[in-house]
Chains A and B, each alone.
Chain A
């Protein structure tokens, strides 16, 4: 097994079962370093389930069984010795619906560093919070109201707060599960720009329902259908020269 230098994460023969129902079938997929990988496909096709396999969020779901391997930098994250708590600090996640804690903006961002003991004193923590909010493009808007509740922000700001919260633990990969589906076009544009900026430092995997969004922001696109990875390649190729007729149909809006 050789891991190519630019491959960050790798799924190998990944099968996922919810009880007796199989949700993912033999997924093999490489996720490349410092690139945005988009996952598209009709609802219920398993793209979100796959995303949740990448940071073992599926562990929290009852009767959910994962078979196969997911490698991060060549190491199996489902190995027995791996602590999912540490893993999730390395692989951040942003959810579909903005879900800031009902605490202050500061505490939202500081939560991760606090539980992982990343900072030694208040000054360092302040620095991490400021840095994360800046990277998430939220600093200018909230710097005077860090004590306000995170839930008092607008939807787009809340989502950027969630991104800042994920960044604060200094992850290597950021998983985003339809991060813009609850936002208006303006907030979406801001988040998309943010994703473009973030990929210099992070590997980003994003699930999206918007083909335009996938085309705009991603380098690589994966098309899922009924739990199978039908097509995976450069975004340009997928959208311009889809190999699979289902991909073509989905992209052109003929089904899904």
Chain B
């Protein structure tokens, strides 16, 4: 080990003896004068035979290896460096720890939302059924639990099945009219409370007054489960439905569509505006007090609380221009204001990092200013521009406050048809659900957060991919 060190340090000492060299040599009583070391005739242990090398190395002290006297300072320096590194690792560990806690928390409370409970009941498809589809469900339940009497009790019994069963049976009959007059075993969607029981979130351990299901209801469910009449399936409703008052019928489709439309509007406005602003300010504008003020203001805008942009959107787009309230167009335009400074700053920084020699080369060849910008600066700055834009979009994607201001917080069950129809966005949906008391909404809140995080991860992944794709190899 010391042999290797020695040979390396000797080489560097040969080229230029480091200044600390002499000082340490004097202080520590170094054995070899500097001149000797840098001379090619040094009686170096390396010049001897293989066998004597080690013995020689022990005799001649390498002045670069710390002496005892010099050691305290060196050791202190080393300790300081190690401590510094340790702090860095600690910071990273902290950040990752919290991220881990967040993810664990969300996933553990949200994963169950991707499954839903179904209850199998024999349903008679009678002729009068089309009047009241749920009647068939009631009939079946009544027959299955003949001991249940009295309206309140029967109501509780019926409450185990979701109102969605109505649609389910209607669709079944429409798809297969031959069912009429027959009795069929049908897996019906359980109500949210029954779902919570089957997922183990409601148990008899809780006092009856503090849970949504009565003791009787739990008994019935237990009975159904023991008959293997309950099962968990994939919750496709969560991805195919809009918002609903009933948790088991609520999904993220409408809010996801709203988010996508909003982001589309946002990007189509913010990207060209931001890039053009940045290119003009960076490449064409004269550097005077006006541009200086503009620059300061753009940087300030990036720090304005997002709810202020919401108020601006409300006043300008809805109040002044009369655009439809809660539409994704207004949402997109408002978010565009929000991320404009991000795009402008990212683009300017990216343009500034282009080597001026490339612009010079183009100008010297007789390219006009615009040609040099369009042919060279912008393509070379593209990775940075795209990264900035996508980070801005990720920010817009997760923004809630400004959308509340422009009315995108309304209860929207339908998937928005176009950018003018009322819509909501995924983070707003999360906000709405988190406000609901039902346990079914609690898990859906977490599930929706997971989807949002997944979406953001995909967007950031796309940013990395595009940056790599547009990156120019300077080699």
Chain A interface residues (CB < 8 Å from chain B): 55, 57, 60, 62, 85-89, 92-93, 95, 97, 99-102, 111-112, 115-116, 149, 151-152, 162, 165-166, 169
- Among B355, B361, B366, B380, contact of A115 (Cβ-Cβ < 8 Å): B366
Asked whether A62 and B365 contact (CB < 8 A) given A99-B360, A102-B473, A149-B473, the answer is no
Residue pair B366, A86 in contact (C-beta under 8 Å) = yes
In the complex the two chains form, what is the Cα distance from A251 to B13 in whole Å?
Answer: 35
Residue pair A85, B360 in contact (C-beta under 8 Å) = no
> From residue A111, how far is it (CB to closest CB) to chain B in Å?
6
Interface flag for B180 (CB, 8 Å): no
Residue pair B361, A162 in contact (C-beta under 8 Å) = yes
Interface flag for B368 (CB, 8 Å): yes
Interface of A is mostly: helix
Residue pair B361, A89 in contact (C-beta under 8 Å) = no
Q: Please give me the residue from chain A that is nearest to B364 by CB atom.
A: A93
Residue pair A55, B367 in contact (C-beta under 8 Å) = no
Besides A99-B358, A101-B358, A166-B365, 5 more A-B contacts (Cβ < 8 Å) are A95-B361, A102-B358, A111-B367, A115-B367, A115-B371
**Residues of chain A with a CB closer than 8 A to B362's CB:** 101, 111
> From residue A109, how far is it (CB to closest CB) to chain B in Å?
10
Hey, what's the 0/1 contact readout for B16-53 against A, CB within 8 Å counting as 1?
00000000000000000000000000000000000000
Chain B interface residues (CB < 8 Å from chain A): 287, 355, 357-368, 371, 375-376, 380, 472-475
**Residues of chain A with a CB closer than 8 A to B361's CB:** 95, 99-101, 162, 165
**Residues of chain A with a CB closer than 8 A to B358's CB:** 99, 101-102
Can you list 5 A-B contacts with CB-CB less than 8 angstroms, sorted by A residue number? A99-B358, A101-B361, A115-B365, A149-B475, A151-B474
In the complex the two chains form, what is the Cα distance from A95 to B363 in whole Å?
Answer: 12
**Residues of chain A with a CB closer than 8 A to B371's CB:** 115
- Among A95, A102, A166, contact of B380 (Cβ-Cβ < 8 Å): A102
- Among A62, A86, A151, contact of B475 (Cβ-Cβ < 8 Å): A151
Asked whether A169 and B366 contact (CB < 8 A) given A95-B361, A99-B361, A162-B361, the answer is yes
In the complex the two chains form, what is the Cα distance from A102 to B287 in whole Å?
Answer: 29
> From residue A220, how far is it (CB to closest CB) to chain B in Å?
23
**Residues of chain A with a CB closer than 8 A to B366's CB:** 85-89, 112, 115-116, 169
**Residues of chain B with a CB closer than 8 A to A149's CB:** 473, 475
Residue pair A112, B360 in contact (C-beta under 8 Å) = no
Q: Please give me the residue from chain A that is nearest to B360 by CB atom.
A: A95
**Residues of chain B with a CB closer than 8 A to A62's CB:** 287
**Residues of chain B with a CB closer than 8 A to A162's CB:** 361
In the complex the two chains form, what is the Cα distance from A99 to B362 in whole Å?
Answer: 10
**Residues of chain A with a CB closer than 8 A to B365's CB:** 88-89, 92, 111-112, 115, 165-166, 169
**Residues of chain B with a CB closer than 8 A to A86's CB:** 366
In the complex the two chains form, what is the Cα distance from A92 to B361 in whole Å?
Answer: 10
**Residues of chain B with a CB closer than 8 A to A88's CB:** 363-366
**Residues of chain A with a CB closer than 8 A to B472's CB:** 102
In the complex the two chains form, what is the Cα distance from A198 to B365 in whole Å?
Answer: 18
In the complex the two chains form, what is the Cα distance from A201 to B363 in whole Å?
Answer: 23
In the complex the two chains form, what is the Cα distance from A60 to B361 in whole Å?
Answer: 12
In the complex the two chains form, what is the Cα distance from A14 to B375 in whole Å?
Answer: 33
**Residues of chain A with a CB closer than 8 A to B359's CB:** 60
Residue pair A95, B357 in contact (C-beta under 8 Å) = yes
Residue pair A57, B360 in contact (C-beta under 8 Å) = yes
Q: Please give me the residue from chain B that is nearest to A89 by CB atom.
A: B366
In the complex the two chains form, what is the Cα distance from A149 to B360 in whole Å?
Answer: 19
In the complex the two chains form, what is the Cα distance from A101 to B380 in whole Å?
Answer: 10
> From residue B261, how far is it (CB to closest CB) to chain A in Å?
38
Residue pair B474, A57 in contact (C-beta under 8 Å) = no
Most chain B CB neighbours (cut-off 10 Å) among A62, A86, A100, A102: A102
Residue pair A99, B357 in contact (C-beta under 8 Å) = yes
> From residue B303, how far is it (CB to closest CB) to chain A in Å?
29
Residue pair A102, B474 in contact (C-beta under 8 Å) = yes
Asked whether A55 and B475 contact (CB < 8 A) given A99-B355, A102-B380, the answer is no
In the complex the two chains form, what is the Cα distance from A221 to B268 in whole Å?
Answer: 58
In the complex the two chains form, what is the Cα distance from A62 to B288 in whole Å?
Answer: 11
Q: Please give me the residue from chain B that is nearest to A94 by CB atom.
A: B364
Q: Please give me the residue from chain A that is nearest to B363 by CB atom.
A: A60
**Residues of chain B with a CB closer than 8 A to A93's CB:** 364
**Residues of chain A with a CB closer than 8 A to B474's CB:** 102, 151
**Residues of chain B with a CB closer than 8 A to A102's CB:** 358, 380, 472-474
**Residues of chain B with a CB closer than 8 A to A111's CB:** 362, 365, 367, 375
> From residue B376, how far is it (CB to closest CB) to chain A in Å?
7
In the complex the two chains form, what is the Cα distance from A97 to B475 in whole Å?
Answer: 15
In the complex the two chains form, what is the Cα distance from A49 to B355 in whole Å?
Answer: 20
- Among A57, A97, A151, contact of B363 (Cβ-Cβ < 8 Å): A57
Most chain A CB neighbours (cut-off 10 Å) among B358, B362, B365, B371: B365
In the complex the two chains form, what is the Cα distance from A162 to B65 in whole Å?
Answer: 50
In the complex the two chains form, what is the Cα distance from A115 to B357 in whole Å?
Answer: 19
> From residue A112, how far is it (CB to closest CB) to chain B in Å?
4
Asked whether A152 and B364 contact (CB < 8 A) given A97-B357, A99-B355, the answer is no
Residue pair B368, A85 in contact (C-beta under 8 Å) = yes
Residue pair B473, A151 in contact (C-beta under 8 Å) = yes
> From residue A108, how far is it (CB to closest CB) to chain B in Å?
9
